[in-house]
Structure 1
Amino acid sequence: MISVLVVDDHPVVLTGLSALIDSDPQLEVFGVARSAAAALEATADGGPAVAVLDLHLPDGDGIGLGVQIKRRWPATRVLLLTMHADDATVIRSLTSGLDGYLLKDADPEDVLAAVHSAAGGSLVVGRSVSAAVIAAARAAPRTDALGRLDARDLEILELLVDGLPVGQVASRLYLAPKTVRNRISEMLGKLGVATRDEAISLARAAGLRKS
């Protein structure tokens, strides 16, 4: 069975998608959530095979949530749920390491097919996306490089995203400034970037924020 997490803040959409998932004998509902916080709580002890996430949530962004889920459970495939497949959203979702998107007005059979395709390892893109946009997304740097960082790296990067200088980062984490600088240098190599600003930009694109 393919387990599916459904996240949407609209009760009608949440109920409809859950019923649709349950109607497929090869799929099962892993859980439902109406917020990013609830989705992270639902995946605290295990990840679904596929997560279908609304783009706009009351306490966050579906892309950022997807990155957090995939960082926690790398095997989980994440599909973005959106009303409009604008080019910027498609590019940002794909370069963030997500596995595709669904349109809310898609036919039920297309939604089920997308979930199966994602679970099988395929990249899912809507019919309205041009080949040029897909090519641009694939050519852009992928922010899923954050998955190469360990917990301490992420703590440091989150504080840098918040604008703290190295000295304050060191103080906050009870580390020596030299240790933090060394960790940052190693982090740049893991991310494949040359400067601290590039690392911060990469983290912001992936929705990394200090909670």
Structure 2
Amino acid sequence: MSAGAAAIRVVVVDDHPTFRIGMSALLAATPGLEVVGQAASRAEAVGVVLGADPDVVIMDLDLGDGSGVDATRELLARRPEVAVLVVTMLDDEHAVYDAIRAGARGYVLKEAQPQEVERSIRSVAGGGLVLGAGVARRAMEGLAARADARPFPQLTDREREVLALLAQGLDNAAIARSLFVTTKTVRNYVYAIFTKLEVKDRAALVVLAREAGFGGDER
């Protein structure tokens, strides 16, 4: 930090006193950071933040009197300029998505090294969005799992387009015109779809596709 630059003002919110006090001491000893408050609950956090006017709030998600997600949402409704950095034990993708939707700018696990926490504080204070390494990996795994949960994940994107058009009742020639390919190419796609979905005729395929939600705007 350049000489004369203001320190980043931090409030630590966590209902576990050992972690809260330890984190506060660690940050207070870090050049360029200033701990201006602590809170042990959702209700206390609101009052402390309003009084201390921090740049960054370190927020646990599991507070004694409520959720850190709700606390984040409430704090940002009153102080939208504050950067909330979630530091928690919870590492599932749902918690990450909920926190980010509530307005948190960062999400780091409590197992993170002190240097990672410091970097994350400086990043969110500067307007950045931070996901710790373990958090980012879990979030990507969750997104991949959701993608694989689509109907017929064994189909390629092009085969899904063809299936959607089939479900709309188009014949091969109409599908070819829609996709700007030859009728032979469409036949090959249809054959591949038959094989992968293990259906014997076009009527059965159309029924299967419509039951899975195809036939609307899948293209």
* Structure 2 Cα separation of the partners of residues 11 and 72 of structure 1: 26
Q: TM-score, normalised by structure 1?
A: 0.60
Counterpart of 2:125 in structure 1 is 119
Residue 20 of structure 2 corresponds to 14
Q: Decide which moves more: 84-93 or 123-132.
A: 123-132
RMSD: 1.8
Query: 1:17–1:123: structure 2 CA closer, same or farther, 3 Å change rule?
Result: same
Higher relative contact order (CA 8 A, sep 6+): 1
Partner of 2:100: 94
The reply to whether residue 28 of structure 1 matches residue 34 of structure 2 is yes
Secondary structure of 2:12's aligned partner? strand
For 1:132, the equivalent position in structure 2 comes to 140
> Residues 56 and 121 of structure 2 are in contact (CA less than 8 Å); yes or no, is this contact kept in structure 1?
yes
1:65 aligns with 2:71: yes
The structure with more radius of gyration: 2
Report the CA distance between 1:20 and its aligned residue.
Answer: 1.1
What are the ranges of 5 or more consecutive residues in structure 1 without an aligned counterpart? 137-211
| Match in the other structure for 1:3 | 9
CA deviations on 1:35-82 (whole Å, 9 max, x unpaired) are: 111111112345310000111001111111011111111110001121
Instruction: Give unmatched runs, 5+ long, in structure 2.
Output: 1-6, 145-219
How much has 1:93 moved relative to structure 2?
Answer: 1.1
TM-score (normalised: structure 2) = 0.58
Cα separation, 1, equivalents of 2:26 and 2:102: 27
In structure 2, how many angstroms separate the alpha carbons of the residues matched to 1:108 and 1:53? Answer: 16
Q: 1:26 & 1:133 partners in 2: Cα distance? A: 35
1:79 equivalent in alignment to 2:85: yes
Which residue does 1:104 correspond to in 2? 110
Structure 2 CA distance for aligned equivalents of residues 135 and 26 of structure 1: 36
Residue 132 of structure 1, CA deviation: 3.5
Match of 1:152 in 2: none
